[in-house]
Amino acid sequence: MGDWKTITVPVLSSDSKNIFHYTSEKKISPPSMNSQVLRLPLPSSKNMHSFFSAFCTEENIEQSISYLNRELTTLGFPSIYAESKGQELNLISIINCMNELLVLQHKNLRAQEEVEMQHLKLGSDMDHLQNCYAKLKEQLELSKREIVGLQERDRQLQSKNRNLHQLLKTEKDEVQKLQNIISSRATQYNHDMKRKEREYNKLKERLHQLVMNKKDKKIAMEVLNYVGRADGKRGAWRTDKTEARNEEEMYKVLLSDYEQRQKQLLVENAELKKVLQQMKKEIILLLPPQKQKPKERSEDGLVLSDPEEDIGELNKENMWELSCETVREQLTNSIRKQWRMLKNHVEKLDNQVSRVHSGTLNEKDVISREDHELETEKLELEIQQCKEMIKTQQQLLQQLMSPCDDDTTLLLQDCYLLEERERLQEEWRLFREQKKNFEKERRSFTEAAIRLGLERKAFEEDRGAWLKQQFLSMSTDYKHSENVTTPSAFLGSCDQDNRLVKSTSQRKPPCMLSGPVSAEPCQTSQYITRNSSSAASKKPAGDSKPNQWVESDKEETE
Amino acid sequence: MRKVPRPPSLLGGRSQGRDTEDSSAFVLGAQRTGEFSDTDVPVTALGPPGWLLCSPASCVQYRLVVRDARTLQILQLYTCLDQIQYIEWSSDSLFILCAMYKRGVVQVWSLEQPDWHCKIDEGSAGLVASCWSPDGRHILNTTEFHLRITVWSLCTKSVSYIKYPKACQQGIAFTKDGRYMAVAERRDCKDFVSIFVCSDWQLLRHFDTETQDLFGIEWAPNGCVLAAWDTCLEYKILLYSLDGRLLSTYRAYEWSLGIKAIAWSPSSQFLAIGSYDEKVRILNHVTWKKITEFEHPATVASSKTIVYKEVEKSPSVETERLSFPPTRALASSLFSTQSKYDVSQVPVSLQHIKPVADRANPKMGIGMLAFSPDNCFLATKNDNIPNAVWIWDVQKLKLFVVLEQLCAVQSFQWDPRQPRLAVCTGNSKVYLWSPAGCVSVQVPMEGDFQIVSLSWHCSGDSVALLSKDNFCVCYLEREEVK
């Protein structure tokens, strides 16, 4: 089997190359050929027979051959007629043509299959897409319905909103109305009140007059004896003097109150000033004298130094009593400046501290250093362990991976090989099938040939007997003309037969193998039958032919 | 570590001792009026400072009883013309004024000279109110229909009239030093304030106030600022100087019921305004602007606030102490429920009354507020939450303590000498609070003694507790005495 493969594959490939060549040539050919090729049905022997019998009969064999020739030439095949002999058929080219046609057919079939597959695929795709389309359409419908529903709801809500707005408006109007009513009522009420009060006042006045002016004797005070005033003074007469005195006293009271308040404020101010002063002093003490002070001095010059001195002087003579504005301003200004300085200083210090902090930390953390080291050691150990772990894992992975790679490549190769092999086996199977068929047909053919040979023999014998009889009986030449044509015809046919046999013997077995199995033997058999039929009444070609067939068979089997 | 509840430091052990009747802290000072008449209105007044004995005076029907404040022995007994409706001591405790509104008569008695007497008859003009002038030598009588105020002098025969007094809650106000008197007036549908000099009843200032319907006037304790506030329909308070200048006007909001009560701090530094929106606003005396706002929500959530909740406890009877026949005090203690204070965990939700919206004078808002004499605390009562007294720390301007009582608070008053608050709730207990803690004290008396009002002695040593027809005095002993 292996031998077979090795032999057949290159041949096939060469053939296929040829086919490619042809096909590349044929690509230019008009579409009619393609249609013809496509028109060729997958031949089942019966159909074949009927088809060909319809196409070619004994009467139109020449025409059909010529037609075929024409067709083939138009398709770019070499002429099936032998160039030199005019009407003679070139069997080799016919067979080549046929083979190529068959190859083409095969190829086309395959292409068709592919196309069909693609078509199927596309069909299924189409179906899928159509399904999708249908689904999407449904979804669209659904969404549309939803949209409609939502729109409806929106509309409802909007109408509700409108209603609510309306309600709100009415409520507002109501409120407005009520407010108006309230205000009108209030004014009315106030008005009525005033009226009533006036009336009441009038009544009071009247009552007053009535009650007071009657010289009511009852209105009286009975006292045993008048008591002295609480302060021991005697009651004074009311005069302008007393009025002025009262006024004076009132103002005195007010003044004393204000004075008291001012005193309180003064005390408060003094306290605050004291605090300020103290703050200032402390700030000055706090601030590093070498940095800020000269700067400030240089900047402010006299302005700062003078008030300080002044304050210093004032301080001695109890400046708190002098709440002079200039002093206050100077004090607040200087305090502000100092404060700004202090702030800057503190900020600077903060910065320094934050900068130094890291350094100091290390210095400070002497005790925790051991811990730190221990911790680092531990961590390092852990890292080491982890690393090792990772390494082993990597190794394991690599171990797993590397054979896997080889395997995969091998597997892939194997796969390819297997595929190839399967393909080949498939082909081989096909080929064997073809071969079987072929052999079957050949067997039938040889049988037919043997039969034909036998018949021919019988015929020859009959003819011999008949010729002898003729020859013996024929004394006179009254039927000479008839005798001339027949031998010629016989001779021609015999030649033809010979040639045919030769060609068959010359045919290469691989060609036959590679070519389409069904059509070729049929045609050959046809030819043979035709020949036989045409030469049925003629002399058979001879016994050598069947032997040749057998020989070729033998070659094949070898 | 605060230890609560704890009796105030000045509340001695005697107040709780009930071994014998004599050592009881409570001395029943008044005869029950039931002996005479069921319709009696007892009137009690504690003498003002300056009088050695600081006598409590009480009246029963026609009789006026003056007792010694320490011993409650009867010093004097006067008989009036009619049923006494109002009594008032003069500022120097020399005279007592007894008003008989029905008759339109005021009788004055002298403590020094029992046979001295004085009778003022308002005649057909009628009488609705009577009071002493600060000097204790003049009596101001308001006639019916607020026709006028008559000023009667006990020194001279002179009589002064003040016309058009306004019929309002707090229409007359004297300065603390007694020099000036402010009177709210109403003329031609406008409000006015007249300031008089009390020494000779001379009109000092007369000015109109920008109010719809003046409701009350109150002098600052320093006597230099007069606060005048409008009717509750409008939140408006006006501050006038003694010379009649308008110092400031304050309106917290509009369109809602406004001011219900106000209180000056003893230092005149703050003016606390309680209003119907359940808030107290505190104004300062420099700018007359609001310093802060104290809300009185039904839920106390701040963890810095201590909430004392009064809880009832059944009295534990010591059987060996029981004697036959049981002493009165013991009996009363047996049959009355006792109570004590617990410290509640915040947040506490207080009992809240929803006021009826369509009634006049709804029970809501801050109706009572008082500063402690040392300016440190402010006690308030929200009428929505009648069972609670709120005590605010004025220095921190924060809520300090809430006392949640079992019954509605009827009245409270600060001890005039120290930050100590006495509260009564219409039952037979008096409640005392000081920064150290608070305590509930049962009145050791048979039967019902519903304290509706209380009044501190000026020394802060005793409190007179008044029920409808009885009064008793609660003595608070100093620690060193114990």
Tell me the pairing of strands B26-28 and B471-475. antiparallel
Partner residue facing A230 (CB), from B135, B145, B156? B135
A543 phi-psi bin (left φ>0, alpha ψ -120 to 50, beta other): alpha
Q: What percent of chain B has pLDDT over 70?
A: 82
CB contact under 8 A, A216 and B242: no
Nearest to B398 by CA among B263, B303, B471, B328: B303
Pick the most confident of A343-347, A518-522, B59-63, B216-220.
Answer: B216-220
The sheet that has B202-208: what strands, in order across it? B172-174, B180-187, B190-197, B202-208
What tens digit of pLDDT does each residue of B190-238 get? 899 999 998 888 888 899 998 888 999 999 998 899 999 998 888 999 9
Q: Which whole number is the average pLDDT over A293-302? A: 42
Residue contact B189–A231, C-beta within 8 A: no
B356-391 pLDDT tens trace:
877 888 888 999 999 999 999 999 999 989 999 999
Indicate the range of A464-473, A530-539, B255-264 predicted with least confidence.
Answer: A530-539
Contact between A224 and B118 using a beta-carbon 8 Å cutoff: yes
Give me B140's structure tokens.
Answer: 């101001």
Write the pLDDT tens digit of every residue in A174-225: 999 999 998 888 888 888 888 888 888 888 888 878 777 666 666 777 777 7
Contacts of B152 in chain A (CB under 8 A): 221
Q: What is the pLDDT of residues A147-164, one digit of tens each?
A: 999 999 999 999 999 999
What phi, psi does B226 have (nearest 5°)? -115, 125
Residue A512 has pLDDT above 70, yes or no: no
The per-residue pLDDT for A35 is 41
Q: Is it the case that residue B3 has pLDDT exceeding 70?
A: no
By percentage, how much of chain A surpasses pLDDT 90?
A: 12
Would you say B267 and A260 are in contact if contact means Cβ atoms under 8 Å apart?
no
Q: Are B204 and A247 in contact (CB < 8 Å)?
A: yes
Q: Are A219 and B158 in contact (CB < 8 Å)?
A: no
- pLDDT score of B412: 93
Mean pLDDT along residues A7-15: 39
- Bridge partner residues of B142 (DSSP): B129, B149
- CATH number, position B212: 2.130.10.10
- What pLDDT sits at residue A152? 95
Residue in B92, B96, B97 with CA at minimum distance from that of residue B51: B92
Question: Is there a contact between A230 and B147 if contact means CB atoms under 8 Å apart?
Answer: no
- Average model confidence (pLDDT) across chain B: 80
Residue with tokens 């403590």, as numbered in its chain: B111
Task: Please report residues of A whose CB lies closer than 8 A to that of B194.
Answer: none
In this prediction, residue A358 has a pLDDT band, given cuts at 50, 70 and 90, of low
B280 — pLDDT class (breaks 50, 70, 90): very high
Looking at the 3D structure of chain B, how many domains does it have?
A: 1
- What pLDDT does residue B303 have? 86
Q: Is residue B358 part of a domain?
A: no
User: A370 CA to chain B: closest CA distance, Å?
Assistant: 44
- Across the interface, whether the CB atoms of A218 and B117 are under 8 A apart is answered no
Q: Distance, in angstroms, between A161 CA and closest chain B CA?
A: 31
As a whole number, mean pLDDT of residues B334-344 equals 75
Backbone angles phi, psi at A454, to 5 degrees: -60, -45
CA distances from A192 to A205, A393, B189 (A): 19, 104, 11
To probe the interface with B, which of A197, A217, A221 has the most B CB atoms within 10 Å?
A221
Would you list which residues of chain A are within 8 Å, Cβ to Cβ, of chain B?
A: 193-194, 197-198, 201, 204, 207-208, 211-212, 214, 216-231, 235-236, 238, 242-243, 246-247, 249-251, 253-254, 257
CB atoms within 10 A of CB B238: 23
The pLDDT mean for chain A works out to 70
In this structure, the number of other CB atoms found within 10 A of the CB of residue A5 comes to 15
Specify if B305 maps to a domain: yes
Is B322 within the bounds of a domain? Answer: no
- Give pLDDT tens digits for B246-263: 999 999 888 888 999 999
**Contact residues on chain B for A194, CB-CB shorter than 8 A:** 189
Given a contact cutoff of 8 angstroms between Cβ atoms, the answer to whether B312 and B339 are in contact is yes
List of chain A residues whose C-beta atoms are within 8 Å of the C-beta of residue B241: 254
The pLDDT tens digits for A32-54 are 444 444 444 444 444 455 555 57
| Residue B321 belongs to a domain | no
Chain B residue numbers with beta carbons less than 8 Å from the beta carbon of A241 are: none
* Nearest residue in B to A226, CA atom: B155
Distance between CA atoms of residues A131 and A267, nearest Å: 97
Look at residue B66 and tell me if it is in a domain: yes
Q: What is the phi/psi pair of residue B182, to 5°? A: -110, 135
Q: What is the pLDDT of residue B410?
A: 92
Higher-confidence residue of B29 and B360: namely B360
Domain that holds residue B420: 4-316+327-353+363-481
- What are A69-106's pLDDT values in tens digits? 888 888 887 777 776 666 677 778 778 888 888 888 89
CB A221 to CB B152 under 8 A?
Answer: yes
For residue A498, which of A450, A542, A556 has the smallest C-alpha distance? A542
pLDDT in the model for residue A214: 60
Q: Which of B282, B251, B280 is nearest to B269 (CA)?
A: B282
Residue B51's pLDDT is 34
CA closest to B205 among chain A residues: A247
Q: How far is A241 from chain B (nearest CA, A)?
A: 12
Helices (H), B279-390: 328-335
Q: Is B363 exposed, middle or buried (0-12, 13-18, 19+ CB in 10 A)?
A: middle
pTM of the model: 0.58
Angle between helices A91-212 and A31-39 (to 10 degrees): 100
Joined together, the tokens standing for residue A180 give: 């108006």
pLDDT digits (tens, 9 = 90+) for B126-159: 889 999 998 888 999 998 888 889 999 888 878 8
B419 min Cα distance to partner chain A (Å) = 24
DSSP secondary structure, B114-138, as one string: TT-EEEEE-GGG--SEEEE-TTSSE
Any idea which residue has 């009140």 for tokens? Answer: A193
For the residues A6-12, what does the mean pLDDT come to? 38
In this prediction, residues A281-293 reach a mean pLDDT of: 66
CA distance B29 to A268: 50
Q: What residues of chain A lie within 8 A of the CB of B135, using their CB?
A: 229-231
Give buried/exposed letters for A256-294 (b at 16+ CB in 10 A, else e): ebeeeeeeeeeeeeeeebeebbeebeebbeebeeeebee
Instruction: Say if the Cβ atoms of A254 and B120 lie within 8 Å.
Output: no
Least confident of A324-328, A336-340, A508-512, B419-423: A508-512
Write out chain A residues lying below 8 Å of B110, CB-based: 227
Among B145, B157, B200, the strongest candidate for a mutation testing the A interface, having the largest count of A CBs within 10 A, is B200
Question: CA–CA distance from B283 to each of B258, B259, B293, B398 (Å)?
Answer: 16, 14, 9, 15
Q: How far is B53 from chain A (nearest CA, A)?
A: 19
Whether B334 maps to a domain, the answer reads: yes
Q: Which residues of A touch B92 (CB under 8 A)?
A: 230
Which comes out higher in pLDDT, residue B164 or A289? B164
Instruction: Report the chain A residue with the minimal C-alpha distance to residue B150.
Output: A219
